[in-house]
Structure 1
Amino acid sequence: MSGGRGALAVTALGVCSPGGVGVTALWEALATGRAHHPPITEFDVEGATLGAAGRVPGHSGAQDTWRALDLAESAVREALDGVDDTGRERTALVLGTTDPGLVPAEPGRLAGDLAAACAERTGLGGEAITVANASASGAAAIAVARDLVASGDAPAAVVGGADAVTDMAFLGLNSLRTLGPEGCRPFSTRRRGIGLSEGAAVLRLEPYAPHDADAAEPLAVLAGCGLTNATGHLAAPGADGIEQAVRLALADAGLGPEDVDLVNTHGPGTRRGDTAEVTALRAVFGARLPSIPVNSVKGVLWHLQGGAGAVEALACVLSLTHRAVTPTWGAEPVDPFCADLDLVLDDGPRPVPELRTALSVSCGLGGMNTALVLRRP
């Protein structure tokens, strides 16, 4: 699926993650490889493969099922800074999450209505939509919001994803042997699984008017989206579905593989996941792939679940604005299967003055794949 309805301006960002609260803190974390992964204390993890999780440092809020809503509110408020009540009145809110049941029911509201609850807290009066597409939820939500704004159904949208670390998610993944003792080690021979994190990330999307001299220049342009549901196995990712999502996103943006300057991968640090994603990228980019910087932010932040695709799209926007690519922390020693990739194994962000187009890939259980194309204005 691809929208094919035109580009949108990314005019503001909001985020809270294990790297800290706010956009500046996120860039610093991705640049230095430092984030917050304390031991889990609110539920019993004895015998689990991993005893820690990524947490938002210094973020006050309930350590219970309302946590995802608190995190979403924090990110949305940052993205709405400077927007008055009139501007908020018709702005839509689309939020991805892996478990829409995280928000308890209140009188007059269905359990799991994360977007509606967050819109009420932040004064957004437009349509409120919650998207649950596994780990691709945040990225899929961005595609949904793009269609809302591009079609004229909403004048603007705040969109992204949020999730909390719960006993159900953590212990469920542990029972599936999905957690790794060192957290996420994308593309590394030392990878053994993922580390789970909490957090939220959102982008504000508005119509793009490149020829309007009075319009402020956006941070970036959301140029294309591609979504596939290529279910071959409930848990194992498939290269074909990822490849198709990337091709759809590029076609939607009116671009070809030769136009991409950065690939931000899903990069969870699982053998099957990394292998499927690299196989798909080789099919799309061919002999050019080794010359394109390829990174994953999960080596720093670990896996933000439904917020992962959103925070990774936001990281692409920051790379475009800084004209630099952050390293894939934790990738060394690199798996020989991935040895031809430029994983940006630098000690900090690599300046790329010509960086113009970034591709962000997100994958979820059950074959949910999303690719987003972001460009400099």
Structure 2
Amino acid sequence: MSGTGPTVAVTGLGVCGPGGVGVSALWEALATGRANHPPITAFDASGATLGAAGQVPGHTGGDGVWRALDLAETAVREALDGVGEREHVALVLGTTDPGVVPPRPGHFTGDLAASCADRTGLGGEAITLANASASGAAAIAVARDLVALGDAPTAVVGGADAVTDMAFLGLNSLRTLGPEGCRPFSTERRGIGVSEGAAVLRLELLDDIGPDSAEPLAVLAGCGLTNATGHLAAPGADGIELAVRLALADAGLEPEDIDFVNTHGPGTRRGDTAEIEALRAVFGPRLGSIPVNSVKGVLWHLQGAAGAIEAMACVLSLTHGAVTPTWGAEPVDPICADLDLVLDDGPRPLPGLRTALSVSCGLGGMNTALVFRRP
């Protein structure tokens, strides 16, 4: 889908994560650097490098993938606020554990999107994607095309994941977990911290938004997806660069048109390095003058929901006219010494903020870039 096609707008948001439940709680967490990372009690994590995880404060519900479904439902209901007719609303969700048919012990029948659509009364297409850490962002690209092509008048899209023993202990065995959680772009980064949560955006055609509807929050101008890496477990700068260039071309924009970049920024040495290398290839020397941040220093890694909550951070930055800090980045790695990582004590006002780029990367070379702009 080209940026010259129908304009798809973001008209609603829903989220729950370590920062709390609701969009205002998310912005407060990103602004203050405070989120909920208590010790894990759902399973034995005593032998892990990190014994804590990002958890939704006060959110009760099931365990494992059932909890992911509960979290997804919470976010979807918030994004649907004010929507009456739901028969043709599509739901696209990214996750790292989509469920199976027929079910096996501990898994719900069907997949995440179908089960969540059933709970929330959505009658349109229900699609689940599993693109590793880029799942939520890839789902947004798929839903954008559903709406732009007329296959759905409205789509609710994003990602959801819970912290399960299999995923958590698997990451620990791969030495992916860091003892302090995520420290994006810091010389002291040693791995990631894992979180639960869900984040979704409501998408509609800009021309179909009626006069009685709420003002659109942003326009989803461009999407780029690649599956390219030289190693299954290590990101490749070339694949990330291509995803960004595809998104810019899809939006009909040039690199100099981007005002802000929200990175995947996981806080791993290979991940951070590959992403910065890719961004330097796209933006050249101008990268040093563009605010660049990562939300993982406060939220940690929301797995399949990571790309969706990062996209939401871009939308919120556009609506607030400000960008939030990269918490935990200091002392900064010399590879980023010339970059503006927004090392402020709170949100930085950017009155001229018009466009934002979000980059998400996953194992196996799953890379997604999304471009948002003000309506």
TM-score (norm: length of structure 1)? 0.95
Q: 1:185 to 1:102 in 2, by over 3 A?
A: farther
Partner in structure 1 of residue 171 of structure 2? 173
1:222 paired to 2:215? no
The aligned counterpart of 1:253 is 251
In the other structure, the counterpart of 2:312 is 314
What is the distance in 2 between the residues matched to 1:104 and 1:27? 39
- Match in the other structure for 2:58: 58
The residue aligned with 2:67 is 67
Letter aligned with residue 93 of structure 2:
L
Once residues 103 and 201 of structure 1 are traced to their aligned partners in structure 2, the CA distance between those partners, rounded to angstroms, is 25
**Runs in 1 of length 4+ with deviation above 6 angstroms?**
1-4, 210-215
Q: 2:155 aligns with which of 151, 154, 157?
A: 157
What is aligned with 2:23? 23
Matches within 5 A, 1:1-377: 5-84=5-84, 87-101=85-99, 105=103, 111=109, 113-209=111-207, 216-377=214-375
Task: Specify the SS of the correspondent of 2:207.
Answer: coil
Offset at residue 44 of structure 1 (A): 1.1
SS in 2 for 1:101: coil
After superposition, give the CA deviation of every residue in 1:69-126 in whole Å (9 maximum; x if it has no partner): 0000000000011111xx21100000000111289839xx984510000000001000
In structure 2, distance between residues paired with 1:102 and 1:21: 28
The runs of 5 or more residues in structure 1 that have no matched partner are none
Q: Secondary structure at the match of 2:139?
A: helix
Tell me the CA shift for residue 60 of structure 1: 1.4
Mapped to 2, the partners of 1:336 and 1:35 lie a distance apart of 28
What SS is found at the alignment partner of 2:309? helix
User: Counterparts of 1:56 and 1:211 in 2: how far apart (Å)?
Assistant: 32
Provide the identity percentage. 84
Q: Quickly say closer, same or farther: Cα 1:302–1:202, change in 2 above 3 A.
A: same
Secondary structure of the equivalent of 2:360? strand
Aligned partners of 1:95 and 1:115 also within 8 Å: yes
8 Å CA contact 1:4–1:224 kept in 2: the answer is no
Rounded to whole Å, the distance in 1 between the matches of 2:150 and 2:214 is: 20
Deviation digits for residues 337-371 of structure 1 (CA, Å, limit 9, x no counterpart): 11111000000000000000000000000000000
Letter in 2 for 1:26: L
Shift of 1:19: 0.2
> Secondary structure, in 3 states, of the residue corresponding to 1:209?
helix
**1:57–1:259 distance in 2 versus 1, CA, 3 Å:** same
Relative to 1, partners in 2 of residues 1:127 and 1:4: Cα closer, same or farther, differing over 3 Å? farther
Take 2:67 and 2:211, find their aligned partners in 1: how far apart are those partners? 42
Aligned positions, number = 373
Name the CA distance, whole Å, in 1 between partners of 2:294 and 2:7: 25
* Distance (whole Å) between structure 1 residues aligned to residue 2 and residue 68 of structure 2: 29
The root-mean-square deviation of aligned C-alpha atoms, in Å, is 1.9
CA contact (8 A) 1:184 1:298 kept: yes
